Amino acid sequence: MSVLLPLLADAADKAAEKSGGFSPLELWHFPSQIAWTLASFAIMYFVLSRFILPKLGNTLETRQSSIASDLDEAQRFSDQADEATKALELRMTEARTSARQTAEAARAKIDASLAAKTAETDAKLQVKLDAAEERIAELRDKAMANVSDITADVTKAITDRFDANVNASDVKSAVAKVLNT
């Protein structure tokens, strides 16, 4: 074989000089080029199908399952958050209702207490007003009783000042007549 290679190389050189073209494109090179191309593709196919593509497929599957589980977990958390939000809204509504009822009960209790105290105070004031009116009536009656005497005395003093001789009993009867009308 060692003898054959130099002869082939010599023949290739002579053919190249004859054709004057690019030697890889010459027809007598095609069978070896096709054989090496097929051998390269077969090795590449074997390496890809046995080592690289299974690992790549496993990686893609792992990634896809990881994404799917993450999406499921995110959906679960979203559902939990929605449930928690609904529960919170329900508790808030219940708390508002309870607070409203408590406020209304407190308002009613305060109103009742205020009404009772107001009634009690009004009753005490009415008693005091009645006593005061009674006292005022007594004082007015006393004052009115004294008014006729005072008026008679004043009238007598005025008539005496003008040197009119008027009897005190006449003055009292005239004042009583005027006050009664």
For residue 149, pLDDT over 80 is answered with no
Token pair in block for residue 63 = 């990634």
Q: What pTM was computed for the model?
A: 0.40
Res. 110: pLDDT tops 60: yes
Is a pLDDT exceeding 70 seen at residue 139? Answer: yes
Chain segment 2-34, per-residue pLDDT in tens: 666 677 677 766 665 665 566 667 777 788 889
Average pLDDT over residues 143-163: 79
How much is the pLDDT for 130?
92
Distance CA 177, CA 172 (A): 9
The 10s digit of each residue's pLDDT in 59-107 is 999 999 999 999 999 999 999 999 999 999 999 999 999 999 999 999 9
Q: What residue segments make up the domains of the chain, in order of their start?
A: 54-180
Distances in Å between the Cα of 134 and the Cα atoms of 115, 125, 128 are 28, 14, 10
C-alpha span between 168 and 176 (Å, rounded): 12
On the question of pLDDT at 148 being above 90, the answer is: no
- Could you give the percent of the chain with pLDDT greater than 70? 87
Q: Give 42-69 as a DSSP string.
A: HHHHHHIIIIIHHHHHHHHHHHHHHHHH
Angle at 123 between CA 141 and CA 125, to 5 degrees: 50
Give percent above pLDDT 90 in the chain.
56
Query: Count of CB atoms within 10 A of residue 102's CB?
Result: 10
